[in-house]
Amino acid sequence: NSIFNIFSHKMMRNVNMFSLVTWCLIICKKNRTNIVLTSQAHVLPGFEIAQNWEQALALAEKAIEAKRNSQLASGETVTETNEIMIIGGGEIYKQALGFSNRMYLTRVSASFAGADTFFPAWNEAFWHVDFEEQHPVDEKHKYAFDFQVLNRKNLSWLRGG
């Protein structure tokens, strides 16, 4: 599986949140919930609007519960853990770092002229790499990159609990 296939698989089976700018770059897909975090009043059909994180997370939890209930009602076995996939842009990532528990991160080994959006800095000491896959330059990949799954460390001992 390519990293894009893994990402697409995750997006299709989970609730997705992103900024208006990122939303403008994505084509509406069926069979998934897409929530746009924006102060705008309107978005294209197939997207739900949230004006703040509280609304966005409530919509996401409602969609996850509806999907689960639909699976149970149809006799399907509920086997997947539903995740809320926050897929950009830069400011959305920065805001979500404070409450996210998992990151699917692709680190590209290259610099790009004119790039104006970057993943925000975070304290790597609070995260554990649970999966890593390295991809060298080859006939399919113009740039080397690493794909990682990071989970937030349990730091409750710092808070005394």
Integer Cα distance of 51 and 42 in angstroms:
11
Q: What is the pLDDT of residue 19?
A: 65
Task: Give the pairing of strands 15-19 and 34-37.
Answer: parallel
Query: Which pair of structure tokens corresponds to residue 97?
Result: 């770092």
What angle (nearest 5°) sits at the alpha carbon of residue 105, between those of residues 99 and 106? 160
Reading the chain (161 residues) residue by residue, the pLDDT tens digits are 555 566 666 666 666 666 655 655 555 555 678 888 888 887 777 788 899 999 999 999 998 888 888 888 888 877 666 788 888 888 899 999 989 999 999 999 999 998 888 889 999 999 999 999 999 999 988 999 999 999 999 866 555 55
Query: Which pair of structure tokens corresponds to residue 47?
Result: 């997207």
Under 8 Å between Cβ of 48 and 34: yes
